[in-house]
Amino acid sequence: MAPKIHVDYMQQALNLARKSPPKPTNYRVGALLIDGKTNTVLATGYTLECEGNTHAEQSCFIKLAKEHNVTEEQLGDILPKETVLYTTVEPCFKRLSGNLPCVQRILRLGKAIKTVYVGVKEPEKFVGENSGRKQLEDAGIEVVLVEGMEEEILEVATAGHIPES
């Protein structure tokens, strides 16, 4: 079982995911950016929280950039050295909407984010197998599955989806 702190943060992320409107075309995801050194929450986000077709990780970055009056691309310069990301569903590597995938958003921050904790691996429903994990790992970012909440996370993530018959 994952250390309690990881489960606690994943539970917070799951509570954020519940705020996302259920839709058949996306997953309801919650995310937290944490200063791993001080265990301080830097930003929170959930799917469709910000204007446009925003993902949870993207919402974290948008809100934090606005708070610090920088562009999303400049966040890498101001994030604490031990920043970690918690997200209920593995970051996307491909967006059908044409938006920049979350994996690319993480990578363009340089080495700012050291570890990404995920609650479940991305289901293959929309974009097939997620190659984002390999891209992150190749860039030196550790991707860690926080086990034990998969069923609950998927239930929240897929609310609003049309059941396959």
Chain Cα centroid distance, residue 14: 11
Q: What is the dihedral sign for C-alpha 35, 36, 37, 41?
A: positive
| pLDDT mean across residues, the chain | 90
Of the residues 49, 51, 57, 150, only one is catalytic, namely 57
- The domain defined by 4-157 folds into Cytidine Deaminase; domain 2 (3.40.140)
The pLDDT value given to residue 59: 96
pLDDT band at 122; cut points 50, 70, 90: low
d(CA 44, CA 33) in angstroms, rounded, equals 6
Arithmetic mean of pLDDT, 76-92: 93
d(CA 63, CA 48) in angstroms, rounded, equals 13
d(CA 51, CA 37) in angstroms, rounded, equals 31
57 noted as active-site residue: yes
pLDDT band at 130; cut points 50, 70, 90: low
Write down the domain spans for the chain. Answer: 4-157
